[in-house]
Amino acid sequence: MSKVAVVYWSGTGNTAAMADAVEAGAKNKGAEVTVFGSDDFTADKVAEFDGIAFGCPAMGAEVLEESSFEPMFTSVEGSLSGKKIALFGSYGWGDCQWMRDWEERCNAAGAKLACESVTANNAPGEDVLDECKSLGAALV
Ligand SMILES: Cc1cc2nc3c(=O)[nH]c(=O)nc-3n(C[C@H](O)[C@H](O)[C@H](O)COP(=O)(O)O)c2cc1C
């Protein structure tokens, strides 16, 4: 059975709602899914999963959340070469620069982005939640 991890940080619940849909999409396609808060994921876990979805909103000035998600991702990105991953997250007033920068970083690390990243302007609507389900399915 395909093993998928969903690793996310969310301050006000918008990215968490997306993570729930990613989990559902991967499970619907038959994967065994483990969900981690960003404090609980470490580089040594990467090898346990066939696919990993990372979720983080735009914070600071178009950056990843800096106290938990960013340090976790920095420690993990050296292990992502060849790994099937996908990115998602919510944003407020920006133009998704944080997501473009994040994708570039993942490509530089040699990760394989399994599908287009999914972004939600604030709370995800049904259409975005469907895209999150497809993102989860793409990792299986
Ligand atoms: C401290 C802080 C910094 C933020 N910085 C940005 C930003 O640079 N660009 C942006 O589009 N939204 C920014 N936002 C808005 C959040 O990305 C938005 O509220 C998002 O829905 C939060 O997702 P969450 O509910 O998963 O925490 C920021 C919000 C906070 C609280």
pLDDT tens-place string over residues 25-53: 999 999 999 999 999 999 999 999 999 99
Report the CATH number at residue 103: 3.40.50.360
Count up the domains in the chain and report the number: 1
Q: Which domain, by its residues, includes 7?
A: 3-138
Q: How far is residue 112's CA from residue 116's CA, in Å, rounded to a whole number?
A: 11
Name the residue of 12, 59, 62 whose CB sits within 8 Å of the most ligand 1 atoms, as the mutation to test its pocket: 59
Q: Is the CB of 38 under 6 A from ligand 1?
A: no
pLDDT of residue 117: 98
**Beta-sheet pairing, 84-91 with 112-113:** parallel
| Residues paired with residue 33 on neighbouring β-strands, in sequence order | 4
Ligand 1 within 6 A of CB of 67: no
In short, whether 57's Cβ falls inside 6 Å of ligand 1 is yes
Condensed to tens digits (0 to 9), the pLDDT of residues 121-138 reads: 999 999 999 999 999 999
The model's confidence at residue 7, banded by pLDDT at 50, 70 and 90, is very high
Q: Is the pLDDT of residue 1 over 90?
A: no
Q: Let me know: does 75 contact 109? Beta carbons within 8 Å.
A: no
